[in-house]
Structures are given as structure tokens and as C-alpha cells.
Chains A and B, each alone.
Chain A
């Protein structure tokens, strides 16, 4: 069993147990309905025509033959979507520009990557829809393309946008380029810091774009009625955000669109934004029929954003006793065909685990002829952590210091200044590193061709807008509704927190995900925010319900509400005799609701602050086969500060899943392009994600340093786990072969090349 390290005594009754999740049974019987599982009478199938070129001007699109095909009910192009204003909106970290976004849904002037949508049809069957796509004539003027990020930055590179002037550079460049943005964060004086260093280590690293690899392709069902009202069944990480983005993209009022949350078959950041929803809605509007779109795996790879690839240079200066005195990083990220990769996150997170007086982080956001990147589990942070943690490993080795001891010596604490603004305010980093150091496996000896690698990682976590409704049913059972998409068991966490707060059993609480027409706004389930922020809304709603239950009990007893307390699911007051207590259980109060004021419920909406960051420390042991270059991960131990594990089995699952993705990123996964700029591996055969036999048991160590700003101490747990994994594997391989690896994935040819430059070519 995994360890749980808990400072202080737990006095919780329900939180921290491992019950079966409320949505579990339908998921093992096949009855749960995911995005592709909804149908309506008269439904049509929508299909999307995609560009065969990496970069081309669209001279014309002739849809007449497709529209004339029997069984075709609607054809759409970008002309059916309203033009959007060119402006960056929202926080700079994730700045969105609807002018870009509408072109991402469907190409206008140009196609910018192979797989870029150019038109769509709705027809009575999949086969007729496919036939109709073949009848659409697109006249392309093929343009030179650029795939690689370093080539895209060259002065003579083909330009995706002829008027793109790099933002964040003063004075502004006078020539356009593919560099969308430059950002810089700085504290202290890095020149002075490096001058004071006894040793300086520096290296350059490259990573490839990788896909989130959710097993469920994007899918939705749309119905647009003649009165302008529409309904959408969508698999997404946030149906409210899908509603907001989709309504704007198709040009309708938010209030006219109701979105129902389908079960979501994995997202990992990739389902934060719409791909198919605006297309299905427009096709439904044009045809007058419900329209279902289900993407193929090929389309998912080619057109639904992967994580960014990168080129990064990191330089670190240390004293001979192991104190880091200066750090400098330049992080260049592939944004894909439209601006805004998570490079800003990368710059902000990379050095943040450490207390370093002199730091500079520079980021470049670069467009090239690839699908626009999307978020992927702690977006940006695993990439910069790979470069930073590899360099930290070199620094520790250069003075012969244990790599975890080195990190512990330099770890950030409350009060430490971050490079990007605030000071750290939460404990947990040092505790997590210590928990990993204490793991017995950390000191086991290694065999031939084996290596052990460690790394740490930071992630912001998030709070934000959430709503919850808690209703006491007529029989005293409780319904908890939230608007947060449940990717991995958050309904169970909500039910646990509600049961704990109300003092009733877990099986008396039913937690559901409500649609956009049934509850107040909830942000996306991303940034490891749901159990934290939506959990706060649930607990606050439970507290309001408790106040109401106390008032009802007071009414029944004809007592003052101040004399009634709530304990163990009952209203209690002092009885007549000394030491006597009168009780009214929730069930009895619910039974008398009608005569005491009617239904008992509360809805709470919050904009949750007080977020505590995520932090993980990991080590892994690998064995390298010197004949083939294949790497086998023998052991993986991941410690993460989870604040408080609301449902420990689900928290372990988050850690194990994040690490598994990190191992795939480190060893196998990459987007491979041919010379024509076409993706060469758009399927699970050639884009190989880890299978069961590739992986060892992943040991999850839950470190519980509670967040004082959450009723039960929860910190977001979904993402920090993947942050160190890439570097932990790379550091292990580097130590196993005695050479520093600087490129991901570490596929067998690359490992062979590192072992012997003659062989790996």
C-alpha cells in the first residue's frame, strides 16, 4: 500500500475514506453516456473536410456538388461563422484571441496546418457524409511551410501571419515574424549571481509535441431550434466554458444555448476548448435537424491540439557547498498554428521550487504549421521542469552531492520570492522532498546498466468560479449538484465533503454534475481546481443548509436557534435534566419541512481564492539495454503534497496516471512530420502511449500538509505529479549510461546514438 504521511491527527469521519464513486456502476456496465453515446430522432451525421496541405491559401471552395448529393442536408464553411475582433482577452498566461479561435474552428484565408478544417457537411448517414466531403472542391495555392520551431524563428522563414509583430519587445520590431510574443521575468542580478558562483552548468534541451491521448475522441450532439434556442450534449472539461466559447463563435446569446455534460472520456487539458461544437451547432441551424459529430482518432491527432514542443537553454550557478546563486532560462515553445503556447507558465514554474536570489526566465511563443497547442496537464511546467531539473542534476553531480539533498538545501519556503511576483506562502515542498528521501527504495543498490533519477516540480493549482447546490430530499437524503465536469471521480470527493460537513453517511449523499440550465456558472475542470474550489462551494452550501436545519429544529422545538447545535447529522439541544440532550435527525427535520417553511436547500457560488500550489518529488530507476537502446522503467516512486486526500484512492490514481503520462512523454511519444509537413503518425499504433506491460508499479506517496484555506485542507492534486516525471526519467537514463541526455523522447535510436554516435544514425 502507498504511504500516507500525515502531520497532525485526523479527526475526520468520512473524508479520507475510499468509497465507490457515485458514477461508478454505469461505467462498469457500459451504461454511462459519453459524448458519442447520445442520439436524437431525425439526427444527422456531421463530418469535417480537412486540409491536405501544411500551408496554403484558399482561393475558393465549391460546395455545390456536395449539397446536391441526395441525403446531404447542410454544408458549411467559415462563411457561416461570424468574423471576430482581433484582440487578446483574458489573463496573459492563457490569452485567447477570438480572431484566431474562429480560424481554428474553420480556416478562412489560409489553411495553416495539415488537418485544418475547411468545410463540413451534415447528412443522413456517415457514408453519405463521407461521400459529400469528396465532392467539395477546394482550390488551394500551396505555400511554403515551416514545422520546426527553430526554423520558424529564422528571418527567412515562411510567415503564417504576414502582419504578426512580436508582442512584448520594446521597441516593437519593424518586421513581421512567427514569434508571437516574448516574455521575461527577472529578480536580483544574474550577472552578479553567476560571478559569485563556484561552478556554472549550462545545457540546451529539446522536446517534441506530444498529445494528451485521451481515449475518447471529441464528440457532441447539437440541436438548434427554429426559435434560436439550442441544446448541446458535449464531452468537455467544462460545459459552461464550452457554452461561452461556442455561443460567441457561432454568434448567439449565451442564454439561448444549454449545454449538457456528457461523461468525458479523458481530457487532460485537451478538452478545455471546443473543436466540434460550433460546427455541429451551425450544421443543425442550417439543416433544421439534430447533428452529431464524432471525430476519428486520425482527426484527433491531426487537428486537436497537442502539447507544445520546445527548445530550452538553462544555466545554473552554484557555490561549492551546493547553494544555487543564479539561474537563467530561455524557453522557446511551439504554439502551433495560432499564438499562445503555455510558455509563460513554463517561465513562471521552472525555477519556482527553489530559493534563488538571482533568476531570469525568458520565453518565446512561436507559431508554425502545426495544430494549435492545447493545455496538457500542468501546461508548460513539465517542459521547463525537464530542462531545469536536468541542469539541477548536473549541478548536484558536479559537486558530488545527493540530488535530493541538493534540492532540499535550495528548496523554496514560505517567504521565498518567486521570479514572477508573489512570495511563497504555503508549506509542503521540503516535507515532500523529505518523504521521498525516506522512502526505503531510494537507498537500494542498482545493477549494471541501471540508473536512478530524481526531480521535483511545481504547479500553481487554481481556484476560481464554482457553484454548488445542496438539497435535502424529502426523506433526509441529500443531493449535491455542481457544474464541474467530472473527469476522474470528483463527484465522489463532493459527496465525501458534503457528508463530512453535514455529519451524515456517504451513501446518504448523491452527487451529480448539473447542466448549464440547472445551476450557476462553474469554470472548467482544469488547473487542479475542482476539489478545491467547487469543494469550497459545496461545503459552504452545506453550512447554509445546516443553518436552515437548525432553524427548522428550533421551530419544531419552539426553541431559540442559538440553543440548537448541529452534530453527527442531528440538531441537538440541552434536555430538561442535567446532561440530557434532545436530538432531531436530518430525516425527522426533512419530514416536517412543509410545516416549517418548505424545501430545504442552498446554492452557493464562489470565486475561490486561497489556492495552495502543487508540489511533487519523484525518483525512478531505469535499465538501459546497450544493444537496442531500449529503456525499461523498473521502479517509480512519486511523492506529492496533496494537502488532504479527500478520497485517497482517487488521489493515488491521479499521481499514477500523471507519472504514466510523463514516462510516455519521456520515452516514446512524439509528433513526427514528413517533408511535406504532414503528420506521419496520427494513430495509436505509431504514436505509442504506454501500455500496461511498459510500466512498473507506480508507488504514490501522499504527503498531507493541509491548505489552511480549504475546509479540509485540500490542495489540487491532478497535475503536479507529471511535472517532475520527464526529468526524473531523463536523469535516470543519463546516470545509467553516463552521458547527459538532452532530447525527448529518449527513443531507442537516440539512446543508441548517445551510447555510440556511430551506431545510432
Chain B
């Protein structure tokens, strides 16, 4: 079957690409568009490393087809910082040592931003429940939760 032409918005920019009908959005981002910041940990929607938002909704990009991005607005980790200025979540993850190997970090940051958009003042328990779809094997989550709480605190002050 011929490749499909897809026009979408990625991190605020208009993007066009060709993709096979079976290709996942994750594969399109990584293999066709070179946006390798979105990671594949499982390919079955269990680990959250490939988290992106589509029209503001948090999804695993391994469970979405590339063609489904047609006309949609997608946010990936590459669009999280405002130019040279890191997002408060990115900064707080660094300050709190909220990452070790860093492979889950892009997905967790995207998921955490999505939480704070809905709930600017989450409790520790709310953070733990929201991030339950994002696996981290290095940290035991302590410092991730600390970083999200601290970033939320800072973002509320602004």
C-alpha cells in the first residue's frame, strides 16, 4: 500500500510526513522525523517512556498510528523547553536528581506537565497515581515526586 501523507503540528510547527499505514506515531517521530527524545521501552503501552500529548491529551505514542496524527497538535519532549529556557519541571528534575539513567525522563516530564495543567496543586498521592503509567527502574520515584511537587510550587507562584 502507498504511504500516507500526513500534515500535523508538532511542538507548534507545521510538519508534513509520509508514513506506512501500520507505522506508529512513535516510529514516525523517531525514524521519520528524527525526534528521538521520545523513547520506546515496551511498544505495548505499559511503560510510558513514549508519552506525548495529542491535542492536549496524554497518550502513549506507541499505541497511536502515525496517520492518526493528521490535523492534530502533538507535543513531544523536544518542545518542552521555551527555547533556551528549561521548563520548571525540567529544572526541578535536575536540581532534585530526579533522574538516574534518564531513559524514562522524557515520558515522565510530559506526563507530569500534563498533570500540572489539570491540577496545579497535586498531593504526593495524586502525583504517584498520575505517574503510575510511567515506569522508572532507577530512582524508586522518591526524587521524581519531590521534583514534581517543587515544580508545582514554583509554577503556582508565577
Which residues of A does B touch, CB under 8 Å? 18, 20-21, 23-25, 27-34, 36-37, 39, 126-127, 212-217, 263-268, 294, 296-297, 487-489, 647, 649-650, 652-653, 656-661, 683-685, 689-695, 697-698
Task: Give the distance in Å from the alpha carbon of A698 to the alpha carbon of B141 in the complex.
Answer: 9
B25 interface hit (Cβ, 8 Å): no
10 pairs of A and B residues whose beta carbons are closest in the complex: A30-B37, A265-B103, A27-B102, A660-B140, A656-B140, A30-B77, A684-B46, A488-B100, A649-B97, A28-B90
Q: Which residues of B sit under 8 angstroms from A215, Cβ to Cβ?
A: 39, 41, 47, 49, 101, 103-104, 135-137
Q: List 24 contacting pairs A-B, 8 Å CB cutoff, sorted by A.
A: A25-B86, A25-B90, A29-B78, A30-B36, A126-B27, A214-B137, A263-B101, A265-B104, A266-B100, A266-B103, A266-B137, A487-B101, A488-B138, A649-B143, A652-B142, A653-B138, A653-B140, A685-B44, A685-B46, A691-B132, A692-B144, A692-B145, A693-B125, A695-B141
Measured CB to CB, the nearest residue on chain A to B129 is A693
Which residue from A37, A691, A698 sits with its C-beta under 8 Å from B135? A691
Measured CB to CB, the nearest residue on chain B to A655 is B140
Q: Which residues of A sit under 8 angstroms from B129, Cβ to Cβ?
A: 692-693
Q: Which of B99, B127, B129 has the most CB of A within 10 A?
A: B99
Task: Give the distance in Å from the alpha carbon of A34 to the alpha carbon of B103 in the complex.
Answer: 8
B134 interface hit (Cβ, 8 Å): yes
Task: Give the distance in Å from the alpha carbon of A37 to the alpha carbon of B145 in the complex.
Answer: 27
Contact assessment for B37 and A684 in the assembled complex, using a CB-CB cutoff below 8 Å = no
Q: A28-B99, A647-B97 are in contact. List 8 more A-B contacts (CB 8 A).
A: A20-B95, A25-B86, A28-B77, A28-B90, A30-B76, A650-B97, A652-B143, A653-B100
Q: Which residues of A sit under 8 angstroms from B135, Cβ to Cβ?
A: 213, 215, 684, 689, 691
Measured CB to CB, the nearest residue on chain A to B35 is A30
Task: Give the distance in Å from the alpha carbon of A215 to the alpha carbon of B43 in the complex.
Answer: 11
Q: Which residues of B sit under 8 angstroms from A692, Cβ to Cβ?
A: 127-129, 131-132, 134, 136, 141, 144-145
B33 interface hit (Cβ, 8 Å): no
Task: Give the distance in Å from the alpha carbon of A656 to the alpha carbon of B78 in the complex.
Answer: 29
Measured CB to CB, the nearest residue on chain B to A292 is B31
User: Whole-angstrom distance from the CB of A428 to the nearest CB of chain B?
Assistant: 23
The total number of A-B Cβ pairs within 8 Å is 187
Interface range on chain B (Cβ under 8 Å from partner)? 35 or more
Q: Which residues of B sit under 8 angstroms from A294, Cβ to Cβ?
A: 40
Given contacts A36-B36, A217-B41, are A656 and B137 in contact (CB under 8 A)? no
Contact assessment for A489 and B100 in the assembled complex, using a CB-CB cutoff below 8 Å = yes
User: Whole-angstrom distance from the CB of A19 to the nearest CB of chain B?
Assistant: 9
Q: Which residues of A sit under 8 angstroms from B136, Cβ to Cβ?
A: 215, 692
Task: Give the distance in Å from the alpha carbon of A735 to the alpha carbon of B102 in the complex.
Answer: 37
Contact assessment for A32 and B142 in the assembled complex, using a CB-CB cutoff below 8 Å = no
Which residue from A29, A32, A213 sits with its C-beta under 8 Å from B90? A29
Contact assessment for B42 and A661 in the assembled complex, using a CB-CB cutoff below 8 Å = no
Task: Give the distance in Å from the alpha carbon of A33 to the alpha carbon of B128 in the complex.
Answer: 28
Given contacts A28-B90, A689-B135, are A264 and B128 in contact (CB under 8 A)? no
B96 interface hit (Cβ, 8 Å): yes
Given contacts A30-B77, A297-B41, A649-B143, are A657 and B100 in contact (CB under 8 A)? yes
Task: Give the distance in Å from the alpha carbon of A215 to the alpha carbon of B49 in the complex.
Answer: 8
Contact assessment for B42 and A684 in the assembled complex, using a CB-CB cutoff below 8 Å = yes
Q: Which residues of A sit under 8 angstroms from B141, Cβ to Cβ?
A: 656, 660, 692, 695
Q: Which of A29, A33, A690 has the most CB of B within 10 A?
A: A29
Measured CB to CB, the nearest residue on chain A to B44 is A683
B69 interface hit (Cβ, 8 Å): no
User: Whole-angstrom distance from the CB of A270 to the nearest CB of chain B?
Assistant: 10
Which residue from A212, A297, A489, A689 sits with its C-beta under 8 Å from B97? A489
Task: Give the distance in Å from the alpha carbon of A217 to the alpha carbon of B20 in the complex.
Answer: 24
Task: Give the distance in Å from the alpha carbon of A690 to the alpha carbon of B136 in the complex.
Answer: 8
Q: Which residues of A sit under 8 angstroms from B133, Cβ to Cβ?
A: 691
Given contacts A29-B37, A684-B44, A692-B128, are A268 and B109 in contact (CB under 8 A)? no
Contact assessment for B140 and A37 in the assembled complex, using a CB-CB cutoff below 8 Å = no
